[in-house]
Structure 1
Amino acid sequence: MHVEDLRWFAVLAETEHLTEAAAALGTSQPNLSRSLQRVERAFGVALFERERRGVRLNPYGRLVLEAARAGTMAVDTAKRRIDALVDPESGTVRLAFLHSVATSLMPDLLKAFRADAPSVGFALRQEPAHDIVQDLETGEAEIAIIAPRPDPSRFGWHLLERQRLCLHVPPGHALASRHRVELEEVRDEPFVALQPGFGFQRVTDRLCEAAGFTPRFAFQATDLATIDSLVGAGLGVAILPAGAVRGNDSGAVSIPLAGVQARREIGMSWRLSTPLTPAAERFRTFVRSRPVTSS
């Protein structure tokens, strides 16, 4: 039994005549009879009393009619909602993004895209990189703004931004007037960083390891703005991407880190095995048209 069988059953219940119902549905009477048989087999009882001039619902049929109307209405509502979601002009993009781009890259992308497609909506998820990859795998997110690049055999990638990495120090710090700094110069100082599991925290760990030390953490936060504020308050030093924190007048001083490896790449990613919805494809196409930026 299919939803269409229930729809045909409801029409027959309203007309109480096989020939009239078939004509209204644009089908043949034998097709309608077979559809009715499928419904009755599914419920295990006859649903109509056959009369000389037509058919009439019995008590079982009235129960099924109530359920059929509710069920087909629910299906129709779901179909309309899905059609709206996948409409490239007014659909919804399921988009996941890193905490570390929440105040910089993300608002820039969304503002620019909404100027081009004001009726497209977004279902946003702000998460660590490992959760974003899981969301791409399950379909909770169609597109992600992420770093580092996920498995290229499973996920597409488009580079968006190369970010210079900087050491943030408190105002008045001995290094605050420097134009460039080696990370090993602060090996003995406390660090303010992200909590374990965040993608950018792995960047900090790798840079410190390459500089020959393991950082001592004064505090591990969940967002870059908090880190910048705590550095400004003198709690420690931190590694942050250039321009990642906006509108945060903490007083912290940003100094570029020396070394060609002191950068990270932010990109857009999507699952290769699943086609994007039209709205998500429109967003991906738009983002791909933008130039790669460097900070």
Structure 2
Amino acid sequence: METNQLVNTLKQKQVDVAFIRTLMPEKLDFEKIIIAQEFFTVCLNREHTLANRRKIELADLKDENFIMLAKNSLLYEPVINLCQKAGFEPKISFVSDRMSSIFQMVKSNQGVTILMHPQTKNSELSFVSLEPTSTSTLLFIRNKENHSKIENDFWNYLKQFEMPNRNN
């Protein structure tokens, strides 16, 4: 499920704990355990002329075809907004809700994609830091009250994965 759906199921008490990605964790009115923070990166075919750079300025991608996650994803609008702030409208050539399809399109040199830092290794793709970027936060959330013993035990177990120096 997308983040919005997960938050709604949690509010409706259909689930006890949710693992989500958000760009604004401070706006969530839940107990939180922050696991990680990630940044936007550019995913390109290894043979792309920008693939060996250490960092790419977003404006350098203005003439590229963009392969995007679906409009209902958490990342669609922030990517559009970043491009607009960099002075261009992205030329979107393909949209999918499946990362495997997006990666396949990039491998086939059909365009580039911007996504949160991936934890994947792929010899046909290159992942390069992006400037400017945005931060997303990966976290567990739950309602603030009325927890069962099992839920509390699970929550306490999850706390071992919390990012250091966070008080949530």
TM-score (norm 2): 0.84
Residues 33, 162 of structure 2: 8 Å contact kept: no
| Cα distance in 2 between the residues matched to 1:187 and 1:136 | 39
Quick check: which has more Rg, 1 or 2? 1
Query: How many residue pairs were aligned?
Result: 162
Residues 169, 254 of structure 1: 8 Å contact kept: yes
What letter is aligned with 1:280? E
Are 2:117 and 1:242 aligned? yes
What letter is aligned with 1:287? L
**1:186 maps to what in 2?**
61
Give the 3-state SS of the residue equivalent to 1:198 in structure 2: coil
Pair 1:237–1:137, CA change in 2 (3 A): same
Give the 3-state SS of the residue equivalent to 1:169 in structure 2: strand
Q: What per-residue deviation string (whole Å, max 9, x for no partner) do you get for residues 167-217 of structure 1?
A: 011121110111100111111211111111211223322322322222221
**2:95 maps to what in 1?**
220
**2:17 maps to what in 1?**
143
Structure 1, unaligned stretches of length 5 or more? 1-126
| Cα distance in 2 between the residues matched to 1:284 and 1:202 | 32
Structure 2, unaligned stretches of length 5 or more? none
What letter is aligned with 2:110? L
| Cα distance in 2 between the residues matched to 1:229 and 1:132 | 28
Aligned-pair identity in percent equals: 19
- Could you tell me which of 263, 266, 271 is aligned with 2:143? 271
Residues 229, 252 of structure 1: 8 Å contact kept: no
Give structure 1 regions of 4+ aligned residues with deviation exceeding 3 angstroms: none
- Could you tell me which of 72, 75, 78 is aligned with 1:197? 72
> How far is the alpha carbon of 1:291 from its aligned partner?
4.2
Pair 1:250–1:276, CA change in 2 (3 A): farther
What letter is aligned with 1:185? D
Pair 1:212–1:157, CA change in 2 (3 A): farther
What letter is aligned with 2:142? W
Alignment of 1:253-272 (within 5 A): 253-259=126-132, 261-272=133-144
**2:5 maps to what in 1?**
131
What letter is aligned with 1:256? S
| Cα distance in 1 between the residues matched to 2:128 and 2:62 | 16
Residues 166, 239 of structure 1: 8 Å contact kept: yes
Residues 37, 135 of structure 2: 8 Å contact kept: yes
Alignment of 1:23-172 (within 5 A): 127-148=1-22, 149=25, 151-152=27-28, 154-172=29-47
| Cα distance in 1 between the residues matched to 2:35 and 2:79 | 21
Q: What per-residue deviation string (whole Å, max 9, x for no partner) do you get for residues 244-283 of structure 1?
A: 4x36x46111111124x433221111122x4233333222
What letter is aligned with 1:130? N
- Could you tell me which of 25, 50, 55 is aligned with 1:175? 50
Q: What per-residue deviation string (whole Å, max 9, x for no partner) do you get for residues 47-82 of structure 1?
A: xxxxxxxxxxxxxxxxxxxxxxxxxxxxxxxxxxxx
What letter is aligned with 1:251? E
**1:78 maps to what in 2?**
none
Give the 3-state SS of the residue equivalent to 2:128 in structure 1: strand
Give the 3-state SS of the residue equivalent to 2:75 in structure 1: helix
**1:251 maps to what in 2?**
124
